[in-house]
Structure 1
Amino acid sequence: MLYSQAVTVRFDRTLDDGTRVYTGTLDPFWTIGVVPHGGYVMGCILEAVLHSQSTTGHPDPIHISSYFLVPSRPEAYEVHIRQLRTGRRFSNLIADFFQKGQLNLTSHVIVGTLPDLTAGSGDRSSPTMIPPHPFATRIPFRQHPSISESFLLETKTTPRSLLKTSFDRTIEERFLAKAIAPRENDGGFDRAEWYEMLGEEKGVRLSLPAIAFLADMGRSPPELFPEGDRPGLSWFPTLTLALEFKVKLSSLPHYISPHTFGIFSTGRFIHQGRHDLRSEVWTAPSAIGEKGVLNPDDEEWRDKMFCVAVSNQVALTVPIDVNRRKASTQSSAQANGNRLPKL
């Protein structure tokens, strides 16, 4: 099932306290091993928030922080959205994700109105720093997606048949150089990858729920260890994931690829497998392996890209067998009416 279809929700009911309930079904295609991908689950929550806020003065998610309590399952779910506070510029929501009455994760969402790139602002009291501002952060990628090298995702990533991927060799070489001369750099892990969602409607730009999935596709640092130090085939379950959106996607210029984005991820610390990961989601000048409006010969293509979201997460490192056991253990627990296992 295409991602845009897999995040579909519908309004179900309103509870006595005003909580709005949305329902949907997690698609088994968008999983890591047998457990639904964390960014995909967050995308379903964001889809419900977008529906709930569509008729309000604060229609856009600005920031979402999710806490993953137990792994989800590819089956029916409910998202309960409760208003905490309504302000002039921003409102605060709680969005809880349930399956069979069990709270799987809870999210705090700040909603408002995302900046429109087509509407300039000269208000110095609310500054904006995007290109062509001289201090604006430029896209960290050096290789245009039309000439970057494609690769296949690992077999444990089920949706890889609907994802086209490539990496920036310049960033890869810079990362490898750290291992050769560790005392000459500040350490950490950097990775720059292009992701293209396949099969989506031509010319229709991906939505914010898709950005949540892509933001959670940054490579976990333990995966990037040298061959001799790398853990065996592992699962990296997310404990917390915070995502801030930067701009209104519908306002992106026409030359931006609608289905391709760059993920620049950085990991700095690992303690007993628990690690941090920061990811920036950038626009792309073309689809992977295809010539776009801004081709590699245009020396200014990097100056015309925009960061659309930034995520920060904490994740664990566990053997992939733990992922597989979760499904059977959860099924048994649900059948017996017991509490679900914790990570």
Structure 2
Amino acid sequence: MTLLPNKPIFETDFKYSSFDEATATGTISTKAGEYSAMLPRDWCIGFVPHGGYLTSLLLAVGTKHMTTHPRLSRLNQPHPIHTAVTFLSRCAPGPAKLVAAALKTGRQYTFLRVTLYQDVPRLEANIAFTHMTEHQNGPTLRTVPPRPPPPLTNGLWDTTKGDPLRDTRPVTNKLHYKAAPDSHFGSDKDNSPSIREQWVRMADGSKFSIASLGYLSDMFLPLPENYAEISGAYWYPTLALSIEVKRAPEAGGWDVLFRRVESKVIENGRMDITVDIFDEQGGIVAISHHVAIIVDAARNRRKVAAKL
């Protein structure tokens, strides 16, 4: 079973990239907020760069701009606490230009817009920045706690080798997973196919940062594939995605995180997705909401080489 009529082929000497390499950016002009990036083939679903990876790239650029721009860096607001991304049209592997612009600055919160261009705008993010320990000091109130993650067990981590569509989704190989042993990649297909629960870590051994939460919040095998009604080849592009970050990591980042992925309504080819991300102590790290659609896999096709 293959997702695409023509699956992506990687040469034997292809150099696969780490998260840090894939989100690395060059600076064209800090003052103008212009940056460059190269979108790698191995961070794609089929022939299209993965939406979560692109979200991480925009977060990385926004953070770089906030912390290096002569005026913005003086605000001391390095943490992106909320991101709202709109995917205007699909990208292609290759060069991209990113432009960051301040929409509003403030003593506690600053809002940036980061836009990715390949010929035309392909996606944009509105990002709210603050300093999570120095600028947030209001009331803290107790709420009904969410269902806690299951214990993180010892033993080997899983990959997506059991996924029949793995060869068309190279970006899935960037994570390792742990889930209930009798589940389908963290889902009970018979009783709760619209939910997926997994402990995750980066396959290359790196730690999760706030920027990598963009990738993590969108990198899971699609929930519709838990349903018997989905028997053909489909693609599940994201229309819009938001992430609210509840806490910053300790120095260096998170080694392991847990996520609970759930859809409330899947109807007429459109679905909502909520992703709750927890740390090893059971604290909520981030909450993400998506709108995605279900389309024929033939729409995920190779484009002409990307241009700036």
- TM-score higher than 0.5 here? yes
Show the counterpart of 1:217.
219
Report the equivalent of 2:304: 331
In structure 2, which of residues 281, 291, 301 is the aligned counterpart of residue 314 of structure 1? 291
Unaligned 5+ runs, structure 1: 130-134, 180-187, 285-303, 338-343
| Equivalent position of 2:7 in the other structure | none
1:279 aligns with 2:275: yes
Aligned pairs (5 A) from 1:160-175: 160-169=172-181, 175=188
How far is 1:50 from its partner?
Answer: 1.1
Structure-1 separation of matches of 2:85 and 2:296: 23
Query: What's the CA shift for 1:251?
Result: 5.5
Structure 1 position 136, deviation (Å): 6.1
Hey, what's the Cα distance between the residues in 2 that align with 1:139 and 1:169? Answer: 19
Q: 2 CA distance for matches of 1:39 and 1:22?
A: 19
Q: Secondary structure in 2 aligned to 1:331? A: coil
The alignment covers a number of residue pairs equal to 281
Contact 2:42/2:170 (<8 A) preserved: yes
Does 1:89 pair with 2:94?
A: no
Q: 1:200 to 1:142 in 2, by over 3 A?
A: closer
> Out of 127, 150, 166, which is 1:109 matched to?
127
SS of equivalent to 1:45: helix
**1:109-152 deviations in whole A, cap 9, x for unaligned?**
11111248xxxx9x7x52165xxxxx563564324242587352
Residue 9 (1) aligns with residue 25 (2): yes
* SS of match in other structure, 1:223: helix
Q: Percent identity?
A: 21
Tell me which residue corresponds to 2:208. Answer: 206
The 1-side partners of 2:89 and 2:147 are apart by 35
Q: Tell me by how many angstroms 1:217 deviates.
A: 1.7
**2:149 aligned residue:** 141
1:165 positional shift: 1.8
TM-score (norm 2): 0.81
1:79 is the counterpart of 2:87: no
Residues 174 and 9 from structure 1, CA distance in 2 versus in 1: closer, same or farther, beyond 3 angstroms? closer
Rounded Cα–Cα distance in structure 1 between residues aligned with 2:282 and 2:257:
10
Q: CA RMSD in A?
A: 3.0
**Shift, 1:218, TM fit:** 3.8
**Given that residues 50 and 59 in structure 1 are in contact (C-alpha distance below 8 angstroms), is that contact kept between their aligned partners in structure 2?**
yes
Other-structure match for 1:291:
none
Matches within 5 A, 1:123-138: 125-127=138-140, 129=142, 135=143, 137-138=145-146
Tell me how far 1:190 sits from its aligned partner. 1.4
* 2:245 matched residue in structure 1: 245
Aligned counterparts of 2:20 and 2:46: Cα–Cα separation in 1: 21
Question: Structure 1 residues 174, 97: CA separation in 2 closer, same or farther (over 3 Å shift)?
Answer: closer
- Higher fraction of helix: 1
1:267 to partner: Cα distance: 0.1
Q: Secondary structure at the match of 2:224?
A: helix
Q: Using a 3 Å threshold, how does the CA distance of structure 1 residues 165 and 128 change in structure 2: closer, same or farther?
A: same
Determine if contact 1:223/1:230 at 8 Å carries over to the other structure. Answer: yes
1:21 aligns with 2:34: yes
